[in-house]
């Protein structure tokens, strides 16, 4: 496999130097250019066609968010990894970037004036993500060159509605914020059932993501609180670092949060949520597994199917990483395998919602940060 081509975008000379040195030391990578602001990044991305772009957020001339919007207007595939500060402001901007189509993110080291501190952060956190996403791009390019690329990685097949949906449960990881934005912005009206979401994210990010989606979608989202009663038309995110389950008492259903050990190296875990939903709602569960690394959600989908619920999985070609949905599909647990652009219509149909927006499937990359 050829080397992964990387474009580095950062206004800090220290960070550009650290990235250049780190990439030069890795035989799997090559740097094709460095840019000090977003406008330069857009020009260099078009000229060099990198496999991966690392993108700072706070920069002069054009910041990272505006550059990302411009890049995504014409290029939805090239992985863009945001490299931002750990501050609250940096976290908020990172969440906006992820909903606009950024592929992944890494927090900058606090000692931004130290090349050594920067290099350690890069080696431990950023370079592995560059390789992960870059390898996928290289493999895609090589497959296309050899005419081996398939339009659909798995055949789609219709979902048979088994019973009335009472809850929608979503499991998602890498690439999730943008996938969730696209899914829920396509719904013209709130779903007539509650929505429960496990997105693998740190604690500082889940409330920001819930707020971001609420401002753009018809569903009202919350970072879930222990004991919170579920309401139709509302969505509930598992807080970063805590498992989320659902339980019932009489006619009420509510959230239960706990700190049991991680499952699949994850807390929150999709499996934990899906199993509890299957126990509580039985045949009324609609489970949706979107883009993400690993196999979290596989065992949970087994439980959903055992209780008579329905499972939808995102297809490979529209996933940033086809780990989680791919595991479900390979195990034969998916009732339908759908591209992201078709997912909202199927979720709305199964949940009993009457309408989706006419522009369903169109990605809006001009949302305000």
CATH number at residue 19: 3.40.50.2300
Does a structural domain hold residue 33?
Answer: yes
Residues 186, 325: one domain? Answer: yes
Name the catalytic one among 133, 200, 234, 243: 200
188 and 232, same domain (yes or no): yes
Please check whether residue 41 is in contact with residue 59, taking contact to mean a CB–CB distance below 8 angstroms.
no
145, 175, 207: which is the final residue of a domain? 145
pTM here is 0.87
Two tokens, residue 355? 């309408």
Q: Which strands sit side by side in the sheet containing 220-223, from one edge to the other?
A: 220-223, 234-237, 195-199, 167-172, 285-289, 310-314, 336-338
- Examine residue 115 and state whether it is found in any structural domain, yes or no: yes
DSSP of 190-215, one letter per residue? --SS-EEEEE---HHHHHHHHHHHHH
Nearest residue to 166 via CA among 304, 307, 303, 285: 285
By CB atoms closer than 10 A (0-12, 13-18, 19+), residue 241 is middle
Mark out the alpha helices in the chain (DSSP H runs).
Answer: 13-25, 38-48, 64-74, 88-100, 115-121, 127-145, 176-185, 203-216, 270-281, 298-306, 324-330, 340-351
Q: Is residue 64 part of a domain?
A: yes
In a domain, 155, yes or no: no
Q: Is beta strand 336-338 parallel, antiparallel or unpaired with respect to 310-314?
A: parallel
**Preceding amide of 49 cis, omega within 30:** no
Is 259 a catalytic site residue? Answer: no
Alpha-carbon distance of 160 to 178, in angstroms, equals: 28
Considering the domain boundaries, does residue 45 fall inside one? Answer: yes
Query: What is the predicted pLDDT for the residue at 148?
Result: 46
Provide the token pair at 161.
């509605």
Q: How far is the CA of 267 from the CAs of 240, 246, 270, 273, 358, in angstroms?
A: 7, 16, 9, 11, 37
Residues 112 and 202 in one domain: no
Rounded distance between C-alpha atoms, residue 333 and residue 313, angstroms: 9
Same domain, 198 and 84: no
> With b meaning 16 or more CB within 10 Å and e meaning fewer, what string describes 4-24?
bbbbbbbbbeebbbbbeebbe
Instruction: Let me know whether 125 and 259 are in one domain.
Output: no
pLDDT recorded at residue 110? 67
The pLDDT, as a whole number, for residue 121 is 75
What's the pLDDT at 363? 41
User: Is 16 contained in some domain?
Assistant: yes
Say if residue 17 is in the same domain as residue 136: yes
- 22 and 99 part of one domain: yes
Rounded to whole angstroms, the Cα distance separating 280 from 193 reads: 14
Does a structural domain hold residue 95?
yes
Q: Give the pLDDT of residue 361.
A: 42
- Helices 203-216, 176-185: inter-axial angle, 10-degree rounding: 20
Same domain, 135 and 185: no
Q: Is 59 helix (H, G, I), strand (E, B) or coil?
A: coil
Question: By C-alpha distance, which of 226, 238, 241, 167 is closest to 199?
Answer: 238
- In order along its 369 residues, the chain shows pLDDT tens digits of 789 999 999 998 988 988 898 898 899 999 999 999 999 999 999 999 999 999 999 999 999 999 999 999 999 899 999 988 766 677 899 999 999 999 999 988 766 556 666 677 788 889 999 999 999 888 776 666 555 444 444 445 454 555 689 999 999 999 999 999 999 998 989 999 999 999 999 988 999 999 999 999 999 999 999 999 999 999 999 999 999 999 998 889 999 999 999 999 999 999 999 999 999 999 999 999 999 999 999 999 999 999 999 999 999 999 999 999 999 999 999 999 999 999 999 999 999 886 677 654 444 433 333
Number of domains in the chain: 2
Residue 84 sits in the same domain as residue 173: no
DSSP β-bridge partners for residue 289: 171, 313
Asked whether residue 154 is domain-assigned, the answer is: no
- How far is 74 from 327, CA to CA, in rounded Å? 31
**The predicted structure's pLDDT at residue 146:** 57
**Catalytic-role residue among 12, 84, 85, 173:** 173
Catalytic, out of 10, 186, 296, 335: 296
Q: Are residues 280 and 234 in the same domain?
A: yes
Do 58 and 203 fall into the same domain? no
- Do 279 and 327 belong to one domain? yes
Query: DSSP letter at 77?
Result: S
Closest among 338, 63, 337 to 182, alpha carbons compared = 338
Task: Judge whether 173 counts as a catalytic residue.
Answer: yes
- Among residues 145, 179, 196, the one where a domain terminates is 145
Provide the domain limits for residue 341.
Answer: 167-351
What CATH number should be reported for the domain holding residue 258?
3.40.50.180
Sign of CA dihedral 255, 216, 168, 164: positive
């Amino acid at each position: 496999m050829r080397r992964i081509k990387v474009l580095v975008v950062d206004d800090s000379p220290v960070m550009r130097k650290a990235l250049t040195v780190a990439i030069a030391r890795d035989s799997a990578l090559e740097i094709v250019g460095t840019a000090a602001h977003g406008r330069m990044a857009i020009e260099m991305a078009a000229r060099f066609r990198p496999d991966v772009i690392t993108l700072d957020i706070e920069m002069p001339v054009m910041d990272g968010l505006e550059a990302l919007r411009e890049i995504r207007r014409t290029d939805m595939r090239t992985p863009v990894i945001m490299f931002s500060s750990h501050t609250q402001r940096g976290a908020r901007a990172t969440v906006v970037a992820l909903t606009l189509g950024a592929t992944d993110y890494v927090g900058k080291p606090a000692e931004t004036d130290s090349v050594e501190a920067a290099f350690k952060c890069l080696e431990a956190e950023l370079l592995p993500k560059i390789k992960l996403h870059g390898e996928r791009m290289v493999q895609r390019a090589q497959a296309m060159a050899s005419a081996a690329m398939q339009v659909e990685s798995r055949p789609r097949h219709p979902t048979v509605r088994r019973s009335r949906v009472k809850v929608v449960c979503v499991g998602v990881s890498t690439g999730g914020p943008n996938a969730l934005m696209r899914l829920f912005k396509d719904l013209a009206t709130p779903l007539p059932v509650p929505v429960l979401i496990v997105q693998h994210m740190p604690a500082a990010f889940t409330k920001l993501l819930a707020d971001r989606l609420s401002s753009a979608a018809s569903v009202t989202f919350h970072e879930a609180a222990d004991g919170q009663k579920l309401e139709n038309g509302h969505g509930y995110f598992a807080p970063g670092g805590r498992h989320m389950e659902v339980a019932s008492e009489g006619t009420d259903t509510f959230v239960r949060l706990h700190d049991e050990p991680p499952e699949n190296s994850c807390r929150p875990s999709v499996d934990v949520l899906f199993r509890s939903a299957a126990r509580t709602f039985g045949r009324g569960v609609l489970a949706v597994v979107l883009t993400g690394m690993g196999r979290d959600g596989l065992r949970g989908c087994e439980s959903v199917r055992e209780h008579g619920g329905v499972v939808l999985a995102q297809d490979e070609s529209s996933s940033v990483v086809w780990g989680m949905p791919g595991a479900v599909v390979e195990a034969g647990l998916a009732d339908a395998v759908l591209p992201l652009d078709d997912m909202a219509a199927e979720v709305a149909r199964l949940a009993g919602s009457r309408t989706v927006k006419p522009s369903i499937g169109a990605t809006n990359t001009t949302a305000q940060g």
